[in-house]
Amino acid sequence: MELTGAEIVVRCLKEEGVDYVFGYPGGAILHVYDALYKQDAVKHILVRHEQGAAHAADGYARATGRPGVVLVTSGPGLTNTVTGIATAYLDSVPMVVICGQVPTKLIGNDAFQEVDSVGITRPCVKHNFLVKDVTQLAETIKKAFFIATTGRPGPVVVDLPKDVTAAKTEFNYPKKIKMRSYSPTVKGHTGQIRKAVELMVEAKRPMIYTGGGVILSDGSKELIELTRMLSFPITNTLMGLGAYPGTDPQFVGMLGMHGTYEANLAMHHCDVLVAIGARFDDRVTGDIAKFCPEARIIHVDIDPSSISKNVKVDIPIVGSVPNVLRTMIEVLRENNLKPNSDALAQWWKQIDEWRAVDSLRYQHSDTIIKPQFVLEKLYEVTNGQAIITSDVGQHQMWAAQYYHFDQPRQWINSGGLGTMGFGLPAAMGAKLAFPERDVVCVTGEGSIQMMLQELATMLQYHTPVKIVNLNNRYLGMVRQWQEFFYEKRYSMSYMEALPDFVKLAEAYGHVGMLIERPSDVENALRKALAIKDRTVFLDFLTDPEENVFPMIPAGGGQNELLLAGRDKMVSTHEEGMVLV
């Protein structure tokens, strides 16, 4: 039996087990929307902006580990998704974006709503396809899902001319696919793994540094086992939080620009660094010339192009995180290898001294809401079990610092691209995936307004999330940098005209709350979380002058941190520490 290209698209989505498609219709993709109408296996979520579709699919993918799917029309439909595609690309999130295109005979004619979708997205996708023959459509979609979900995951775009969706052919969906030019290495080199293990057990000041690759590859179980076997200290990147339990004594906190004092100092002074599923991002390394100056570096990653890209490593291991870590565990057990216990005890003693600095301590207040306090209370009232999405800025860093993530796929935020507006649609995607779980979007008054229209989508599809708006009336991270590095010239960082967020939430059919006093914070959070069937927008008026600490200034090394002052303003150097 012959099917149209549009019907083939829908059948392919069914074959891939797709539950939700996030999208927005338009002329070039209407045949596919008509095919969706005739079935009920694949549910469509009608967003209010195509960027919201990409972020919602992204949130769904990060929460579940399954690919997010986006369906948009040609021209502006596709261009509106590009920010969401780039967000997924930089954070290695599996996503398939199917976009309409003008008929093949009009491609290149500047037809109505025509853009070069392949050319525009090429820099920010793992791969993209332009389908010109309906007989190739099913195989192409199979390839798209295969590429998006294997190796280092990422977004794949399928550009679909309207005439291809109307043409007919026999439907035959391949069960498996092989691509001669694409074959990710999954198993690590045994010799390299043995060398790495030998170096690890000889270390006197070891450190494990892990990133989002552990979560993406579902390698948390193996990571926990290996880390506890070795009794090594471990730190996570912003994208890696939850890969190792944040409440575990061996966890020394997040590292990097806004990481803890103990994590950054341990990195700086370690003699063996085990990097797993991390890419040595500039927000982690600081000045590369100053990065881990005494360390020999082991790097485990499935993407060979990431190894020695930013930092030269001594023992590279290409392979999937779970496979490599399982082999490391086997080598340790089979050879009864143990780390240097005396040296490790001294190393932990030093780390505990750095911990005593209490770098996340802040000045409490009875009169003005401190944003850190809101996050501490949020962690408390949710018992640390909520899925937390965030936008980008100070609130993102406070969420990472004060909400202790014990599980993978619990922390969903835009790390690589740093996309304001990400948090709200991502929360919607996560809530669709896990309707029984509390999902909380931590945001700021700047970020929330960038995708605010998705409040309508959330009402239509009943995704009752809780929105924690840390409203300091500033673009907070911009203001912080202007305070530190631009002599307090607050150029365009003050949000002079803001809406009444309570009334705005109510206008969209949700519940709004205004919280102005610290004494009301906990009760407001508990009340909001008790309302299980409604989205609740909590507008917390927070201290406009609060800054995120610790902070490594641009160009600084990991031992050059700014810390919040204690009882008075001081300026002193101790292991590179600066109290301000």
Strand residues in 354-436 grouped as ranges (E): 387-390, 411-412
Is 145 found in the same domain as 14? yes
> What stretch of H or E contains 54?
helix 50-64
Which 3 state secondary structure label does DSSP give 523?
helix
Instruction: Compute the chain's Rg from CA coordinates.
Output: 25
- What CATH number is attached to the domain comprising 154? 3.40.50.970
Residue 181, domain member (yes or no)? no
Measure Cα distances from 298 to 1, 213, 305 in Å: 55, 15, 15
Is 429 found in the same domain as 314? no
Residue 70, domain member (yes or no)? yes
Q: Which of 118, 136, 170 is the last residue of a domain?
A: 170
Tell me whether the omega of the peptide bond preceding residue 322 falls within 30 degrees of 0, making it cis. Answer: no
Nearest to 555 by CA among 206, 288, 280: 288
Give the pLDDT of residue 565: 74
Q: What is the mean pLDDT of residues 12-25?
A: 98
Give the pLDDT of residue 286: 86
Is 90 found in the same domain as 205? no
Nearest to 69 by CA among 11, 153, 13, 121: 13
pLDDT digits (tens, 9 = 90+) for 556-574: 899 999 999 743 333 334 5
Give the pLDDT of residue 579: 55
As a whole number of angstroms, the distance between CA 40 and CA 540 comes to: 41
Give the pLDDT of residue 566: 46
> What stretch of H or E contains 163?
helix 162-166
pLDDT digits (tens, 9 = 90+) for 40-51: 999 999 999 999
Give the pLDDT of residue 577: 59
As a whole number of angstroms, the distance between CA 267 and CA 577 comes to: 14
Report the percentage of the chain scoring pLDDT > 90: 93
pLDDT digits (tens, 9 = 90+) for 31-41: 999 999 999 99
As a whole number of angstroms, the distance between CA 189 and CA 323 comes to: 10
Q: What is the mean pLDDT of residues 9-19?
A: 98
Query: Catalytic residue at 50?
Result: yes
Return the sign of the alpha-carbon dihedral for residues 538, 542, 544, 550: negative
Check 7, 16, 50, 546 and give the catalytic one: 50
pLDDT digits (tens, 9 = 90+) for 81-99: 999 999 999 999 999 999 9
Give the pLDDT of residue 178: 87
Is 380 found in the same domain as 343? no
Give the pLDDT of residue 570: 34
Q: Evaluate whether 31 touches 166 at the Cβ level (below 8 Å).
A: yes
Is 159 found in the same domain as 202? no
Is 303 found in the same domain as 397? no
Is 115 found in the same domain as 90? yes
Is 283 found in the same domain as 196? yes
Q: Evaluate whether 412 touches 464 at the Cβ level (below 8 Å).
A: no
Q: Which of 303, 325, 355 is the last residue of a domain?
A: 355
Residue 222, domain member (yes or no)? yes
Q: What is the mean pLDDT of residues 146-174?
A: 97
pLDDT digits (tens, 9 = 90+) for 504-557: 999 999 999 999 999 999 999 999 999 999 999 999 999 999 999 999 998 889
Give yes or no for residue 110 having a pLDDT over 70: yes
> What stretch of H or E contains 511?
strand 511-515
Residue 551, domain member (yes or no)? no
Give the pLDDT of residue 568: 34
Residue 562, domain member (yes or no)? no
Tell me whether the omega of the peptide bond preceding residue 174 falls within 30 degrees of 0, making it cis. Answer: no
Give yes or no for residue 578 having a pLDDT over 70: no
Q: Which residues of 109-121 are buried (b: 16+ CB within 10 A; e: fewer)?
A: eeeebbbebeebb
As a whole number of angstroms, the distance between CA 244 and CA 321 comes to: 14
pLDDT digits (tens, 9 = 90+) for 397-406: 999 999 999 9
Give the pLDDT of residue 555: 84
Query: Catalytic residue at 162?
Result: yes
pLDDT digits (tens, 9 = 90+) for 358-409: 999 999 999 999 999 999 999 999 999 999 999 999 999 999 999 999 999 9
As a whole number of angstroms, the distance between CA 203 and CA 232 comes to: 10
Residue 320, domain member (yes or no)? yes
Q: What is the mean pLDDT of residues 332-346?
A: 96
Give the pLDDT of residue 573: 46
Is 437 found in the same domain as 324? no
Report phi then psi at 108, rounded to 5: 95, 0
Is 340 found in the same domain as 376? no
As a whole number of angstroms, the distance between CA 285 and CA 557 comes to: 7
Six token digits for residue 48: 């209010």
Q: Which of 114, 137, 170 is the last residue of a domain?
A: 170
Q: What is the mean pLDDT of residues 273-288?
A: 93
Distance of CA 497 to the CA centre of its chain: 30
Q: Which residues of 464-484 are buried (b: 16+ CB within 10 A; e: fewer)?
A: bbbbbbbbbbbbbbbbbbbee
Residue 183, domain member (yes or no)? no
- The 10 Å Cβ neighbour count of residue 221 is 12
Check 126, 142, 143, 162 and give the catalytic one: 162
Query: Catalytic residue at 373?
Result: no
As a whole number of angstroms, the distance between CA 424 and CA 414 comes to: 12
| Bridge partners for 548 per DSSP | none
Domain that residue 130 falls in: 2-170
Check 2, 14, 43, 112 and give the catalytic one: 112
Is 340 found in the same domain as 201? yes
Unique residue bearing structure tokens 């999954």: 186
State the DSSP code for 303: -
Residue 124, domain member (yes or no)? yes
As a whole number of angstroms, the distance between CA 449 and CA 495 comes to: 11
Is 153 found in the same domain as 74? yes
Check 267, 477, 513, 551 and give the catalytic one: 477
pLDDT digits (tens, 9 = 90+) for 208-219: 999 999 999 999
Query: Catalytic residue at 477?
Result: yes
Give the pLDDT of residue 417: 96
Give the pLDDT of residue 554: 84
Unique residue bearing structure tokens 């996030």: 22
Number of domains in the chain: 3
Mean pLDDT of the chain: 95
